[in-house]
Amino acid sequence: MIEFIGVSKYYQGRSAVEGLSLNCPQGAFTVLVGTSGSGKSTTLKMINRLVEHDAGQIRFAGRDITATDPRQLRQRIGYAIQSVGLFPHWTVARNIATVPQLLRWPKQKINARVDELLNLLGFDPALFRERYPHQLSGGQQQRVGVARALAADPEVLLMDEPFGALDPVTRTAMQREIRRIHQLQGRTIVLVTHDVDEALLLADRVVLMDAGKVIQQGTPHELLSQPASPFVRAFFGSHEPGVRLLSLQTVAQRMRSGERCRGESVPHDLTLREALSRFVESGVTTLGVTDASGQPCGVLHFNDLVAAS
């Protein structure tokens, strides 16, 4: 869907991104991680031409982006930026409606969509529709930014540290929400984060950048289990690759489905890493597993989990 071929960007003669080759397949969730200043935000902004590249080629849906009108491009691409970037003199509702309004949706459809998104992101429309950005907390502003990016149902979503200002609870809820949106609608998503765990949780493909270059790209499992260099190993935490690998699998993948047991139970879609914590906290060696409707569907054995890592 999005393809970088030998792309470079220079600021005052210094490269922000150098010879970048990258492929974000249609429907995939690609996560860019890397050190501060490694060129992640620049890479994202080149996709919707907020920043123009100096060398190489960027293709969007098979077409060179320099041959596409930037406004048209941006209508097909939702974008939530690192610094939120809400329009300060516009209400929350109007901010969210930015792109639908550009697309001249009928008023009723816009209003309904704004309410739908406010609900989706945990806001009471009656309380928040008419507020201004300065009347929101940082995390609330960030969530409105995400709502704005989703508003016109874009084919592609670019998100630059969209959950950075959120507390761990809201953050986890938002991560689940974005993963659900991705799975339901098969959108192509490119997300930037500093948070290694967030990257591993969300990504189909992880791209690790340093100093304007791609150091390694692949599935989370590949980067954890076959790091291409000591830098990659260090970035993903050299002490706990086993525990991190556990966060890539769910209880359902390791349980013994023919068995049942008494006592504490966990949902089937819990990660094995979370299950490990539960084992440690409760001091048990087996946990019952429940399916989406809360019915017992198997048993997770501590030993099987250790074997998995």
Ligand X SMILES: Nc1ncnc2c1ncn2[C@@H]1O[C@H](COP(=O)(O)OP(=O)(O)OP(=O)(O)O)[C@@H](O)[C@H]1O
**Contacts with ligand X, residue ranges (CB under 6 A):** 11, 16, 34, 36-42, 82
Question: What's the closest the beta carbon of residue 197 comes to ligand X, in angstroms?
Answer: 16
Q: List the one residue out of 157, 161, 122, 152 whose CA is nearest residue 140.
A: 122
All residues at 6 or more sequence positions from 103 whose CB lies less than 8 Å from its CB, including other chains:
75, 152
Q: How far apart are CA 156 and CA 1, in angstroms?
A: 9
Question: Residue with the closest Cβ to Mg ion?
Answer: 41
Q: Which is nearer to ligand X, 159 or 289 (CB)?
A: 159
Question: Are the CB atoms for 37 and 209 separated by under 8 Å?
Answer: no
Question: What's the closest the beta carbon of residue 114 comes to ligand X, in angstroms?
Answer: 29
Q: List the one residue out of 36, 85, 51 whose CA is nearest residue 192.
A: 36
Question: What's the closest the beta carbon of residue 11 comes to ligand X, in angstroms?
Answer: 3
Q: Which is nearer to ligand X, 39 or 145 (CB)?
A: 39
Q: How far apart are CA 70 and CA 296, in angstroms?
A: 52
41 binds Mg ion (CB under 5 A): yes
Q: Which is nearer to ligand X, 32 or 297 (CB)?
A: 32
Contacting range for Mg ion; rule: CB under 5 A; set: 35-43, 127-135, 137-145, 261-269? 35-43
Question: Under DSSP, is residue 172 helix (H, G, I), strand (E, B) or coil?
Answer: helix
Q: Which is nearer to ligand X, 39 or 298 (CB)?
A: 39
217 binds Mg ion (CB under 5 A): no
Phi, psi (5° rounding) for residue 173?
-65, -40
Q: Which residues bind Mg ion (CB under 5 A)?
A: 41
